[in-house]
Amino acid sequence: MTTRPQHDPSILQLTVLILPSGWAFVEQMNPFLRLLAISFSIFVIVKFLSERHYLKTSETRPRWRDRVAWYLFWAGLDPQAFFCRRESSHSTTSEWLFASLKTLFGIGLLVGVAPLCLTWHKMTAGWIAMVGLIFTLHFGLFHLAALAWRRVGRRVEPIMQAPILSTSLNEFWSRRWNLAFRDFAHEFVFRPMVRQRHARLAEWACFAFSGLIHELAISIPAGAGYGMPFAYFMWQAVGVWLERRLPGLKRNRFVGWCFTAAFTIPGVYWLFHPMFVRRLILPLIGG
């Protein structure tokens, strides 16, 4: 029996991700449409790279309709989990209810609470609307999609795994927050650098890569705030580095939780900076 050669993805492949920045040069384009165009372009590219790597390293060949579903109806970036089927997994009623409640909570913030806050404080209204969007999509609809795909035999998991329960920064970024991006960065940034014996830099490179992607998706559509999303993710890298040098954080889960919250929450102001909120979120709620 012959063994299929393993192809390690090259970081050079990621250079195609500069292509979405071309939308910045389209004159007189609505900022929100620019955001959608850049985000969609990034999504298609990372989907394509993930699928291409899977096809090179796997003996199986997914059917064309499965590949269409991978691109159109699933937010995750682990093709192995999506394309390799198993017996259907029936999720509990409580799981469906929880995912539905998160979706409704997000919609309520977006279309109910946020508009009411406009007359009181516009920036607060914008932040509430943004939280509503994240809950509606990442925590709600994507969770419902995962439950639906598991029901028909896909081995997918929700991309958000209760990040509020994280008791360390490493746990937050590697096992709980946006597992789709985690899967992609691990395969295309972390593993290639580790195999080249750059283990110490691999983790920092993942955070730097995440910062650059968020610059594309946040600062370019806003036309301002350049460098702030990148600074946020490099601050997370500093936090993970510091966390490993403070053994007391591991011994006390509550202290670890507080440390994680202190690093992730306040700095969100850098990530979704005020100009992004003003130019892209507030118009959604009439601000």
Question: What is the residue-wise DSSP string for 67-119?
Answer: HHHHHHS-----HHHHHS--S-----HHHHHHHHHHHHHHHHIIIIIHHHHTT
Q: What was the pLDDT predicted at 5? A: 52
Structure tokens at 155: 């081995």
Inter-residue contact 228 to 219 (CB < 8 Å): yes
Specify the pTM: 0.91
pLDDT in tens, 46-75: 999 999 999 998 888 899 999 999 999 999
CA dist., res. 107 & res. 56, Å (int): 40
Residue partners of 142: CB distance under 8 A and separation at least 6: 75, 158, 159, 160
CA dist., res. 287 & res. 273, Å (int): 16
Residue partners of 128: CB distance under 8 A and separation at least 6: 109, 113, 114, 117
CA dist., res. 21 & res. 33, Å (int): 14
Kindly report the number of other CB atoms within 10 A of residue 5's CB atom.
7
3-class SS at 189?
helix
Q: What was the pLDDT predicted at 268? A: 94
Mean pLDDT, range 154-173, rounded to an integer: 95
Residue 4 has pLDDT above 70, yes or no: no
- Which of these ranges, 25-29, 222-226, 265-269, has the smallest mean pLDDT? 25-29
CA dist., res. 81 & res. 155, Å (int): 5
Inter-residue contact 210 to 190 (CB < 8 Å): no
pLDDT in tens, 39-51: 999 999 999 999 9
pLDDT in tens, 167-226: 999 999 999 999 999 999 999 999 888 887 777 899 999 999 999 999 999 999 999 999
pLDDT in tens, 99-136: 999 999 999 999 999 999 999 999 999 999 999 999 99
